[in-house]
């Protein structure tokens, strides 16, 4: 099948600058690592609703992968990605090679995610969020975007991007998009392509655990944690990395007396694949 003709694909900084200059502002950016799925499509569609011009980046950022992670086997499906991006409403796709983004190799200067980058995902993946924020900052500058959309599935990433934009005065609007799920509840992810049919069944335990936790929200934090943990323990084929009920603003574990907003987040290894998911909750009885 031929590639969409109404889409501009930029591979170099020069091509990006030319494509960007032709866009009517405001410009919305959706940043991805490729292997696009319906979650990415939702972000692009939401961008389309909010801005006259939509730019999608497809860049598998080596800086955010640790040694022994899945960078080498990460799915690369550029032709399909371009079709999906165009169908969802992208005007421009910027798909640079690593040496376009990092012409001097490993950047000596990086954004430091700080304390929020060391908990949850950051505890399991040291340096991950420094790598994420560094590339997000670079792509914001390169695209000169006015707004940027991020998925709630990566709640910690979303929070850190918001913090970076505030702490470094980057002057871009950050928009959160709710998690898009398969019909059976599995959060869409490029990494779902790694799952064997057996793993795919096992992976549903994340969503079941989050639902069980959410159903216990009226009874307080320990009930939420217990309900979710019990579901996870019943599926030994999922190796849990963390299960946490945290304050969505600072990612601190919520104390037992906590009432109000919280985030129930889980990460687990299923087969050779590491999966994450989360659900926002309101803990305690709503005020009447």
Ligand X SMILES: Nc1ncnc2c1ncn2[C@@H]1O[C@H](COP(=O)(O)OP(=O)(O)O)[C@@H](O)[C@H]1O
Q: Of the two residues 23 and 160, which places its CB atom closer to ligand X in the complex?
A: 160
Compute the distance between CA of residue 160 and CA of residue 157 in angstroms, rounded to an integer.
5
124 marked as part of a ligand binding site? no
Cβ-closest position to ligand X? 151
Cβ neighbours of residue 155 closer than 8 Å, sequence gap 6 or more: 248, 263, 265, 278
Q: At closest approach, how far in Å is the CB of 221 from ligand X? A: 26
207 marked as part of a ligand binding site? no
Q: Of the two residues 129 and 150, which places its CB atom closer to ligand X in the complex?
A: 150
Residues in contact with ligand X by the rule CB under 6 A:
32-33, 39-40, 42-43, 150-151, 153-154, 177, 179-180, 187-191
Tokens 């934009």 map to which residue?
Answer: 165
The tokens for 277 are 């998911």
38 marked as part of a ligand binding site? yes
Catalytic residue (one of 40, 141, 249, 258) = 40
Nearest alpha carbon to residue 19 among 79, 76, 90, 82: 90
Q: Of the two residues 53 and 61, which places its CB atom closer to ligand X in the complex?
A: 61
Q: At closest approach, how far in Å is the CB of 287 from ligand X? A: 30
Nearest alpha carbon to residue 81 among 12, 4, 22: 4
User: Quick one: how many helices (H) and strands (E) in the chain?
Assistant: 9, 9
Mark whether 40 is an active-site residue.
yes
64 marked as part of a ligand binding site? yes
Sheet with strand 147-151: strands edge to edge: 8-10, 92-94, 53-58, 27-32, 147-151, 173-177
Q: At closest approach, how far in Å is the CB of 37 from ligand X? A: 6
141 marked as part of a ligand binding site? no
157 marked as part of a ligand binding site? yes
Q: Of the two residues 206 and 216, which places its CB atom closer to ligand X in the complex?
A: 206
Residue 266: which region, alpha, beta or left (left: phi > 0; alpha: psi -120 to 50)? beta
What string of DSSP letters covers 62-129? Answer: GGGPPTTSSTTTS---HHHHHHHHHHHT-SEEE---HHHH-TTSS-SS-----GGGSSTHHHHSTTHH
Q: At closest approach, how far in Å is the CB of 148 from ligand X? A: 9
Compute the distance between CA of residue 29 and CA of residue 18 in angstroms, rounded to an integer.
16
Q: At closest approach, how far in Å is the CB of 150 from ligand X? A: 4
Q: Of the two residues 10 and 275, which places its CB atom closer to ligand X in the complex?
A: 275
List residues forming the annotated binding site: 33-40, 64, 151-154, 157, 180, 188-191
Residue numbers in the known binding site for beta-alanine are 64
Q: Which residues carry out catalysis?
A: 40
Specify binding-site residues for ATP: 33-40, 151-154, 180, 188-191
């Amino acid at each position: 099948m031929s590639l969409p003709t109404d889409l501009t694909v930029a591979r170099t900084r020069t091509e990006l600058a030319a494509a960007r200059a032709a866009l009517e502002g405001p410009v919305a950016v959706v940043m991805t690592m490729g292997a696009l799925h319906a979650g990415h499509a939702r972000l692009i569609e939401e961008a389309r609703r909010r801005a006259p011009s939509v730019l999608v980046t497809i860049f598998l950022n080596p800086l955010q992968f640790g040694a022994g992670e899945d960078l080498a086997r990460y799915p690369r499906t550029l032709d399909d990605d371009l079709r999906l991006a165009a169908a969802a409403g992208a005007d421009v796709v910027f798909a640079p090679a690593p040496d376009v983004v990092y012409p001097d190799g490993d950047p000596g200067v990086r954004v430091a995610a700080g304390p929020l980058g060391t908990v949850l995902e950051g505890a399991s993946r040291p340096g991950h969020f420094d790598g994420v924020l560094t590339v997000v900052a670079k792509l914001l500058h390169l695209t000169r975007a006015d707004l940027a959309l991020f998925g709630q599935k990566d709640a910690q990433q979303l929070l850190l991007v918001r913090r970076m934009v505030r702490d470094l005065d980057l002057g871009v609007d950050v928009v959160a998009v709710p998690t898009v799920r398969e019909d059976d509840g599995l959060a869409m992810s490029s990494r779902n392509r790694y799952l064997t049919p057996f793993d795919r069944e096992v992976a549903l335990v994340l969503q079941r655990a989050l639902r069980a936790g959410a159903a216990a929200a009226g009874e307080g934090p320990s009930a939420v944690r217990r309900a979710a943990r019990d579901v996870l323990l019943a599926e030994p084929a999922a190796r849990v990395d963390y299960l946490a009920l945290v304050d969505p603003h600072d990612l601190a574990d919520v104390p037992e007396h906590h009432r109000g907003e919280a985030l129930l987040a889980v990460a687990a290894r299923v087969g050779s694949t590491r999966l994450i998911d989360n659900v926002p909750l309101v803990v305690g009885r709503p005020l009447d």
